[in-house]
Amino acid sequence: MSILDSNSIGSPSLDGEFKPLNSEEFRKQAHQMVDFIVDYYHNIENYPVLSQVEPGYLRSLLSEMSSYLLESFDDIVRDVEKDIIPGMTHWLSPNFFAFFPTTMSSVAFVGEMLCTTFNSIGFNWLVCPAAMELEMVVMDWLANMLKLPKSFMFSGTGGGVMQATSSEAILCTLIAARDRALKIIGVQNIAKLVVYAYDQAHSTYKKACKLAGVLQCNIRLLPTTQASNFSLSPTLLCTIIKADVGVGLVPSTFAQPLGQPQPQLSIPSGPSLMWLTTTACGST
């Protein structure tokens, strides 16, 4: 793996020609990479699950300013095997039991190849109708699988979007709930918004609240206990919400863990602006 040497920019010659879209070169390298991936997963249980390196290990292996001359694909693969894999924590190892299950599969590999092939940036319908409409159809499939009512589907009056990570999903939900509330109470009252979750919620939740502009003092992480099997107390939630409303704060979002009974909330006065979100497997 090489880095462009700033002192050599403008040199009249390169050792070889870089052809990024040469079809036959890509065919050869793609076959090599598929073989590399298959071999890696075939032997993944032989690697230590947790990386065995120390912080800063890679800088000592790669020169500060390497030659700007191109390396062969074979050399790059050898660099990956020699320098990168030892620094990996192998999430797909059968011996990995931390955090949450990964979502990779052979179908996902092929899907990633297709996505890279089309290189579509689907930020609206016009730039790629197929991408946007496929997402809408698949989201309705998911809603049907979850037996959600028609109001949650594009074929009804709802809809949804796919996010790359649970962290993105949490942040998008918080921002949507925030903006809905601010349309009613006014942007100048953003400091009054309060969000609620239990203390076993996704670790991203508190960080996402800060990004969404919720004051740290208005983030309520309700305590749970082992005696209650770490379930959230609806009575405690209602008590805290009523206390917040009583001092002029505005409940915005309650993140409910999957399987937790939906609490019956009675807000003392004023319109209810609070959204209920459900978290499952680290996502919202």
Are 1 and 76 a contacting pair, CB within 8 Å?
Answer: yes
Q: Cα separation of 5 and 9, whole Å? A: 7
Assessment of whether the complete model's pTM goes beyond 0.75: no
SS3 259: coil
Per-residue model confidence as pLDDT tens for the chain (284 residues): 444 444 444 443 445 566 667 888 889 999 999 999 999 999 999 999 999 899 999 988 876 555 566 778 898 899 899 999 999 999 989 999 887 777 778 888 888 899 888 988 888 899 999 999 999 999 999 999 989 999 999 999 999 888 888 888 889 999 999 999 999 999 999 999 999 998 888 778 889 999 999 999 999 999 988 888 888 788 888 899 999 999 999 999 988 766 555 555 555 444 467 887 776 654 43
- Classify residue 196 as exposed, middle or buried by CB count within 10 Å of its CB (0-12, 13-18, 19+): buried
Residues 6+ apart with CB under 8 A from 195: 174, 209, 214, 218, 219, 220, 251, 252, 253, 254, 255
pLDDT (tens digit per residue) in 133-177: 999 999 999 999 989 999 999 999 999 888 888 888 889 999 999
Alpha helices in the chain (DSSP H): 23-42, 57-61, 73-79, 106-118, 129-145, 166-185, 204-211, 234-246
Domains of the chain: 1-119 (1.20.1340.10), 121-162 (no CATH), 166-279 (3.40.640.10)
Percent of the chain past pLDDT 90, that is, above it, reads 46
Are 185 and 195 a contacting pair, CB within 8 Å?
Answer: no
The pLDDT value given to residue 284: 39
